[in-house]
Structure 1
């Protein structure tokens, strides 16, 4: 065992979670594993056309963490699966059997330390992943992803953990994005890893995978700073890497500090490389004023060959629990992201980005499109949004909300042609999690289908799955009740039953 582990304090003996906001109220760890058949539909009817599974994953600590003020991002990956068929919904939930979870269950206490900081661990881990950020499906593989490690392969039916997945030995990077992209035209799986040669390294590795699972392009890049690249975007001919100004410093980590620290003194970078046949020297790091880029909606090329790139942007540090070097962090209630559009020439030698256009000047995040038009021009964006007109009952909700997660009270449907947004608000005692879009049929017009997402009901302290028809967006077509509370998740996706059948 390396010497730096010996100087750490012993694992906590507490069997109770801290009363800090990220572990209390609605954010108290759920820790449920099991299944429930025929969930109660308390309003409307589940569309009979729906046949598939909504997979989602949440950070959900299975034991009180070693560090009392641990970031809520550091919980163990707990996967929920909502299987919908013939107008009925069945639910199954199971933890990913990561090395961390298995060894901590054997020890009966937390062994892993702070978020992405191995120097605070009680023991040495081969792989520190919590597999808690996204759950995606490709080529017969259900992959539980966290961006600091390879993904874990999961059985799509039983949710049993198969094991770490290095794509049959082809994975070139030590890390793997939590937001891989699937090109709906070519079937390619497009991926990358940052800190790709280990903690604190500036290396970024881009790679694409053919529909049959064989790796194609692999390009190694060096970033201008060691910073977070949580999401990225893909066009027909270009790859875009927006960098969040949360930077890593190994010396700080060795001293017991955080992996990430907000840096207000560096630009907001977008790295751009050709999608096919690129070399390391082809990368361009475009710059904009310091800002926090949110999840990407989509990117495409217009008739002039310029890149059009849509995503939420805010000048403030969304991850306020990782402040700057002086301890400065914004008041969480003051953070708001506008939905913005960058349009720029990727061939330009001028690396200063033009000022973005504000598409929607309302606080929003978790943007999604109809994935059938990914990499090409899109006309519809779906998002989680904070609508002050809803009249959310903050005084009653505040004591039981818990903390860390961003509060959004509505789903939004933004029409890029009319520039108008429709909103679905589930109620004054409710907040929404990330929505997903499901097309009405394979050949339905773009944006015609259903929006689905988990809803936090603070009146009952339980969770609901809401389904909204995009043709009648003001009310739900079905509300499905869960007799349990599922804390804030990060990401999820719909997998059509036909796709799993074809891969079986």
Structure 2
């Protein structure tokens, strides 16, 4: 299996020869596979029914100019389970920009190139490569800079088309928008790179936009995630923003301002003017595990970034700053915001580095105990070397380490069919070995430290990627 995007022998070198995020574990897998009735090492339980799906960057063509890992075309990898058997598929997300690029160019570059505002509200190439949510029987692929949602068939991975919620979507949707498991509503947020606002909205179980409002801000912001409870949305105003030079020159130049982080709590059906801001220590947050209400308090559990301790490595040339920023270092942290007194309490749950938290989505927005986080290898490049089952109450948890040199993906929790209890189910992830071979690992959540109960070798290499989710078998639209 090819594991490099290096130029052919004799070809002129280009700047991406120094870019580690197009080689090895991060090199694209351009072939689309369908494999049914896969071999299983161990035994798949019959009460595991549904699809584990994961999105990620996968450049359709070898990049020639400066290329950020986040720029790659979206590709979804999926393993579907039913009756003790498994099927694998991978498909490109046919976003508008992916289709245009394949036809000769979409007119937009990546985040390391000068941006263009000639495409209306789309500044960079919208790859729909970041997140996946399951709503109304289908998947939606979402983009981290806020873009056009793309509907995908959760069973076949065929692209259904752009989602506009009956033509009523005011603008875009950001990655890490949420689905309420009780109401079936899709709750989203949006933001502008260059204008001082964020917005939020709600889409019904039946795909109708039912609410939308805007929050005015002191300046443009770069949030990455949000919190959702039964009655509230939690928006993030964090001190990592564009530099003045970046704003003037339309370049992705960011820095940390000397100011607190703010969490804005607003009623899900309220107006932006009703938001209540809670100030806390300066920090950046990529990913939220879960949020809920506890008496007067709104509680949020997330991964708080801390300094990574890696100096920029000149061996990567112009990619040294990108490599340094991508070296994730985060610790699980709890914030409690008192809606009566305005006070904020912060508690670090564990000192082990972990990120990309996944929960039992049946408990999203409600009090939960367990989060399944990836462990971050202490290296310059982003590699997930294992999984934690983290106890959000006690701040401890079980650990499953992958084989030496292997890399995993954000896991998903699959509730056991007919099961009961928050952790009565399975934790599923893709794992790619140092030799490029890939497999699916299935762990019993209540016997997490015992390791996989089943391993499924795959016919295709699964490159490192971004976010995944679980689509229950009885809810997938066929």
Query: What's the TM-score, normalizing by structure 1?
Result: 0.82
CA distance in 2, matches of 1:339, 1:249: 28
User: What is the DSSP-based 3-state SS (H/G/I as helix, E as strand, rest coil) of the residue aligned with 2:446?
Assistant: coil
Equivalent residue for 1:467, pick from 417, 432, 442: 442
TM-fit CA distance, 1:371: 1.5
Matches within 5 A, 1:228-267: 228-248=222-242, 252=246, 255=249, 257-258=251-252, 260-267=253-260
CA–CA distance in structure 2, aligned partners of residues 237 and 244 of structure 1: 23
Give the Cα separation in 2 of the matches to 1:328 and 1:385: 23
Does the 8 A contact of 2:411 with 2:469 survive in 1? no
Distance 2:463 2:243 in 1: 31
Q: 1:224 — aligned with what?
A: 218
Q: Distance in 2 between matches of 1:419 and 1:411?
A: 15
**Shift, 1:413, TM fit:** 0.9
CA root-mean-square deviation: 3.1
Kindly report which structure 2 residues correspond to 1:414-429, keeping only aligned pairs within 5 A, or say none.
414-429=390-405
Residues 1:316 and 1:228: Cα distance change in structure 2 (over 3 Å): farther
Structural mapping, 1:16-415, within 5 Å: 18-41=17-40, 43-68=41-66, 70-107=67-104, 111-115=107-111, 119=115, 128-147=125-144, 148-172=146-170, 174-195=171-192, 199-248=193-242, 252=246, 255=249, 257-258=251-252, 260-276=253-269, 278-303=270-295, 305-316=296-307, 336-349=329-342, 353-354=344-345, 356-386=346-376, 404=381, 406-415=382-391
Q: Determine helix, strand or coil for the equivalent of 2:246.
A: helix
SS at match of 2:356: strand
Structure 1 residues 256 and 419 mapped into 2: Cα distance closer, same or farther (>3 Å)?
Answer: closer
CA deviation map 1:63-88 (0-9, x unaligned): 123523x2101100011121211222
Equivalent-residue separation in structure 1 for 2:303 and 2:111 (angstroms): 25
Matched, 1:493 2:469: yes
CA distance 1:221–1:464, change in 2 (3 Å): same
How many Å separate the matches in 2 of 1:213 and 1:478? 36
- CA distance in 2 between counterparts of 1:376 and 1:30 reads 38
Contact 2:331–2:354 at 8 Å: present in 1 too?
A: yes
* Per-residue CA distance 1:396-424 (angstroms, 9 max, x = gap): xxxxxxx75x3231111123455431011
- Structure 1 residues 286, 66: closer, same or farther in 2, change over 3 A? farther
Q: Moved runs in structure 1, 4+ residues, more than 4 A?
A: 12-17, 123-127, 317-321, 327-335
Report the counterpart of residue 315 of structure 2 in structure 1.
none
Deviation (angstroms), 1:466: 0.6
Q: Following the alignment from structure 1 to structure 2, what is the Cα–Cα distance between the partners of residues 99 and 344?
A: 40
- Counterpart secondary structure, 1:295: strand
Give the C-alpha shift of residue 306 in structure 1. 0.7
CA positional deviation for 1:425 = 1.3
Q: Distance in 2 between matches of 1:38 and 1:232?
A: 38
Per-residue CA deviation, residues 285-312 of structure 1 (Å, 9 max, x unaligned), is: 3222221213111111113x11111111
Which deviations, in whole Å up to 9, do the C-alpha atoms of 1:45-73 show, x marking residues without a partner? Answer: 122211211121111111123523x2101
The residue aligned with 1:4 is none
Partner of 1:6: none
Q: Which residues of structure 2 form unaligned runs of 5+? A: 1-10, 313-319
Alpha-carbon distance between aligned partners in 2 of 1:386 and 1:192, rounded to the nearest angstrom: 28
Instruction: Find the residue that maps to 2:160 and give its secondary structure.
Output: strand
Give distance in 2, aligned partners of 1:117 and 1:214: 37
How far apart, in 2, do the equivalents of 1:281 and 1:232 lie? 18
Distance 1:328 1:430, change over 3 A: closer
Residue 126 of structure 1: CA displacement?
A: 8.1
3-state SS of paired residue (1:73)? helix
